[in-house]
Amino acid sequence: MQHADFNQFVDGFNRLAKLDLDIGEAVDPDAAMARLMSYSAHVAVGPEIVQSVAHQIALLTFVNIASRFALGGVTVSGLGDVPLLAPWLGKDLKSAVIALGGNVGSKASEAPVVIIGSILSTPPERGCQLTFEGWRGGVVPLGHQRLSECDVTAPAAVLSGAFAAAEVFAILRGEAGAGLRPQGLSVWRPDGDADWFSSMSDGPTLSQLPNHLWVLGLGHLGQAFLWVLAMCPYQDRSAVKLVLQDTDIVTGSTSSTSILTIDGSTGRKTRTVATLFESLGFMTSLVERPFDDGFCRRADDPSILVCGVDNALARSQVEAPGFPLVIEAGIGRTADDFRSVRLHSFPAQRKASALWKAGAIEPDISIGKTPGYNRLKEQGVDDCGLTRLAGTAVGAPFVGGIAGVLMLGQILRLLHGDTLDAVIDFDLRALDARRAVGNSVLTQLNPGFQSCI
């Protein structure tokens, strides 16, 4: 394979297909993609979907995320002629589902099932039940007690859809316990001491939403954050001003992790996201130069910087421009840690420049020794190309979806008088071990807001 052709391949390679290449379960990239093509999922919706915004948000979130790894198809049954209540694009719910990569139809053979709402038919043999209440969302085993699914915040509805996608992925891969355990979080109390199924971890009625934000990085995390924001019940979207900053262009792999990007998109990520958000009624401004210590926040810039970039240098400098509040998150990159999330708020007990040493050199990436890498080497791919592939992140859109909810959750907690967490740290494989450390430095501020509908 020629060098230019291989670079094009890497740019277009699905970031979850790379998982099987890296752990040695795929003999070559085609086999890794074939496994994703064999994955399918089904959603069965109950009558709540007709009148519940939250149930519709959860459905659209699941379809949007799952269609990026269940390449054999995501089908939905029980829709009928349902008006679109969720704040998204489409003339009805069915057209929104199709636009996000789903299909309306019956369950494919062996596909795990996600149940949304109440269904009267016999529960399937494998799958999970999505559920939410207040600021809490997640999944439970089929037939398990559900939350009330009333008085739901939009982030909790998104959270449940993202957790359902994560659980379906685990079921498809045959992971131990998949579909047999409750999995969820409270956006209001994400720490490990809080029981997400208990009302004690819930927050107040959602009444305020942020009006002015600077979003740095429009890939996996940035787009996930913006999806949650778009689902929130704004009274006046035209009053919401978003500064979108990125320098990257959309590649073939972008849509495998970035949930505002559709297959076939081209051009700069800033333009892609801005076009979509303008069509949703938001106001956007674009910054298309690298984020560095040359930036200085002006008086009329947003008070809050939301950062979802994946390089240490930029992260070490997030406090330098002088934003009163920075919400930053990062996710794992390898087959071992791609389901891990670490979120920070600044200012905090430790400075960003201390967490990520400015100018630090990224660790060396060794070439994979698995059968897939060996096959590529036999096909003529040189060490430079193999090293580039080895250094490409494994990425799962459901991980970004959950992280995006918690990033917005920090801002919403601020607007509702709560103290924030300096660090939230968890891995989806071991949620019980999650931890959150309170921010003892950050003081209250008014970042600009409007009331909810």
Residues annotated as part of the active site:
384
Which residues fall within 8 angstroms of residue 65, CB to CB, at 6 or more apart? Answer: 161, 162, 165, 259, 397, 398, 401
Bridge partners, 76 (sequence order): 43, 104
Q: Which of 394, 393, 395, 373 is nearest to 385 (CA)?
A: 373
The residue count for the chain: 453
Written in H, E and C, the secondary structure of 279-319 is: HCCCEEEEECCCCCCCCCCCCCCCCEEEECCCCHHHHHCCC
Distance, CA of 128 to CA of 183 (rounded, Å): 10
Q: Which of 369, 55, 19 is nearest to 170 (CA)?
A: 19
Do 292 and 203 contact (CB within 8 A), yes or no?
Answer: no
Do 104 and 204 contact (CB within 8 A), yes or no?
Answer: no
Distance, CA of 71 to CA of 15 (rounded, Å): 13
